[in-house]
Amino acid sequence: MKTELSAVGLVLLASFIGSFGALMIKKGSAKATWNPIALVKNYYLLLGGFCYVCGTLLFIPALSHGDLSVLYPFSSTSYIWVSLFSLFFLHEKMNKEKWIGVALIIVGVTLIGFG
């Protein structure tokens, strides 16, 4: 099966949305309790869960238009998005090893894309 470019785009979009969900869940975890009412009012957790679901729903049709061996490695771009979101929105620090890891992910995804 030939992998369509639109399928790659859907996987990249799903990865981006899912990574944003991780950011929201991280922000919501600061206020998380086991109180069910408080959980329902924790909008960061709800938005994070919603983003995860949306990302998964986008991933499903992408799989029907391409090879899993090509598409699934593109989901690793979520590590790049999470690193950038953490840097800009959570003010976490990136050291040299993390940047090297991000660069290797980019190289690997690029090689898969051209392969």
Q: For 23-77, what is each residue's pLDDT tens digit?
A: 999 999 998 888 989 988 999 999 999 999 999 999 999 999 999 988 999 999 9
Check residue 34 and give its pLDDT: 86
pTM of the model: 0.90
Residue pair 14/55 in contact by the 8 Å Cβ criterion? yes
For residues 21 and 15, give the distance between their C-alpha atoms in angstroms, rounded to a whole number.
Answer: 10
Banded pLDDT at 12 (limits 50, 70, 90): very high
Helices 5-29 and 43-63 pack at an angle, to 10 degrees, of 160
